Amino acid sequence: MPGTLRIALVAHDARKDALVAWARRWEHGLARHALCGTGTTAGEIARACPSLRVEELLSGPKGGDLQIGARIASRELDALVFFPDPLSPHPHENDVQALIRISLLADIPVALNATSADHLAEAMFVVRGQG
């Protein structure tokens, strides 16, 4: 489909509900794009948003963050929506930092909370006439 964006959706456990709620709000726009997500995040979004197809990768601690990072490095993703939990330590914190670092190096848009994700969605969907 012309104009299809490739978007990764990631959330830590404490932030999954917030990402699912965001995906529901933007389901119409997201449905036109290729989506992938880590572990249970992908499944929860797909269940909550029946029109979305979300490719399920490994969970973050089992390599999902690295899979997404590799796609970003290979220019196979156009945007990252990542809702991290800033209040809890994560055993795979190095992977999380690497994911953000590669996004910066690849110069792709990154949203780290619902407000920035809304702005990103408005730019990707509404400006493009897909909202």
Q: What residues are annotated to the active site?
A: 65
The Cα 69–Cα 49 span in angstroms is 25
Alpha helix segments (H runs only) across the chain: 16-25, 27-30, 39-48, 64-73, 93-106, 114-121
